[in-house]
């Protein structure tokens, strides 16, 4: 038997409703099992991102609520701090409340990870997805 700790979390009602729908759709036995599965996926993603090394090129997609206090300014300031690895950005208005930034990056994986982590940590940021590749000509055959 595995040792278990009991925790308590607060979630927005809509987020929990959507999560419950997925739990039912996927046939989980309980919310706890679904949350454990989600945490495992989060840990795997974190370990993968932090294992990257060397020269990389890719995108960082950021969805955020532009009504949150100063989030737009903070995201812009962070991007200016990493101007040496940012090739270009694209700003998209998704709906009345949400925007998406697509940030094209090229440089050392460590700096790309730092940038991704800083963007992710900002209040008002809803989702961040990093996609990276090895620049052309360096892919093993």
DSSP lists the bridge partners of residue 90 as 102
Q: According to the annotation, is 50 in a ligand binding site? A: no
3-class DSSP state of 105? strand
**CB 105, CB 112: distance < 8 Å:** yes
Q: According to the annotation, is 98 in a ligand binding site? A: no
**CB 82, CB 138: distance < 8 Å:** no
Vertex 30: Cα angle to 16 and 12 (nearest 5): 10
Q: According to the annotation, is 99 in a ligand binding site? A: yes
Q: Which two tokens stand for residue 94?
A: 């998704």
Rounded distance between C-alpha atoms, residue 11 and residue 93, angstroms: 26
**CB 82, CB 62: distance < 8 Å:** no
Q: According to the annotation, is 91 in a ligand binding site? A: yes
Residue list for the binding site: 80, 91, 93, 99
Residue list for the binding site for Ni(2+): 80, 91, 93, 99
């Amino acid at each position: 038997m595995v040792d278990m700790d009991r925790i308590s979390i607060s979630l927005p009602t809509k987020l929990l409703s959507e999560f419950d729908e997925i739990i039912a759709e996927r046939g989980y036995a309980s919310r706890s099992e679904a949350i454990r599965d989600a945490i495992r996926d989060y840990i795997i993603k974190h370990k993968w991102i932090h294992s990257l090394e060397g020269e990389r090129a890719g995108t960082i997609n950021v969805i955020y609520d532009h009504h949150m206090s100063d989030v737009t300014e903070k995201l812009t300031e962070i991007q200016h701090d990493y101007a040496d690895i940012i090739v270009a950005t694209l700003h998209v208005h998704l709906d009345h409340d949400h925007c998406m930034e697509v940030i094209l990056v090229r440089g050392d994986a460590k700096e790309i990870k730092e940038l991704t982590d800083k963007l992710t940590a900002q209040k008002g940021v809803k989702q961040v997805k990093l996609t990276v590749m090895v620049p052309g000509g360096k892919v093993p055959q």
